[in-house]
Structure 1
């Protein structure tokens, strides 16, 4: 009975909200073969606290009590004496037959409900399988897209790295060429430096030789200056000597009154020549 109560509650609460209201009882009219008025009476009977709703536990509890009342009625009917009121017995038997029919219908509906639930379960599984397949297909597509995108990015990055590597190789070759050029220039500079050093050595040697020659020339010049000075001194002495001699001669000629004018002029000419020499 509890399983039947569960299924009836699920039929009244297909949304799964956890409770049923008076309007939800109308969904059980086909399963219970009752009119809307009778279903409202049943709801009021089960909603003893008059909250306006029934939870699953309340529904199962009141449903079990109602079924228990029906079972007690059946037991009381079976224990009635033969001399009881025939009308009451007939009513009870009619009620029991109707109840039996209703129970049979409920069992059939329960079986149909189970078949429907199984069918829905199978449909749900199929839908889940289809959804899973669609998700798996979508996942594969997304994975393939991601893979292609990763490959594209990898190719782009690889191309960028190759270009960067080629650029670095070009710069490296340019640097090596520049280094070789600098090395050549350095060797040439070193050779020029060696040549300059050799030239400087030659110039220093030439300078020393010239200085030596200059010192020798200075020594010669000093000797010549000494000779010239000595010569000048000697010439001055000779001039002074000749002057004195000429003066003495002129003095003697002047004192010689008896000599003629021509002789005096010759003497003066001689003195001039002597002085010039």
Structure 2
């Protein structure tokens, strides 16, 4: 007999697992959602539990303690714990009982682990000691219930693995969505960056065009001013030459007048 006592948390996890499975089975029976089930409703569990109709009737009768012909969810859940050898309302007492049925027999333990491995449940549960205690007790006292318990563990294992697979699928989908989101953001960022560069290039080109047009306009105005200045300079030079010629003509005319007047005086004196 082992001296290691399973923790309350482990036992609680097992009880929660059984309660959840009980509620699921109850809902399979209560397809009309009446809130209770009758004996014929139990026959809907034949495929789920893999038992004969007579066995399901016996189970119903054993759960119908007050013999009123129907079972509520609470009655079904409480009885389901006893049906698996682990009554939920008396967890502490049964915990000690399971410990007493957890021998140190290596062959029995190996057989239990081989069973878990065959069910795909190896190293899947944190409370294997509690499960092994229940398995040992059923193996010793009720092989039929043991087979049903193993089927139950197998179904729970499938659901856990399916849940983990769904979780991984969701994580993969989220990761893929995140990658797509990041890719779209990067694409938008690149497009925005290219647009900004294009706008900058456009503005720069427009500024250069304006600068070139302004420079060309200033060059044209400068050439025009130079041309006007050249024309004014030429006109000034022409006027100066004309004035010079006029001055020369005036001087020659004055000299000629003086010569003529002098000649007239000379003639008058003769």
Q: Which has the higher relative contact order, 1 or 2, with Cα contacts under 8 A spaced 6 or more apart?
A: 2
Question: TM-score by structure 1 length?
Answer: 0.37
Greater per-residue helix proportion: 1
Pick the structure with greater CA Rg: 1
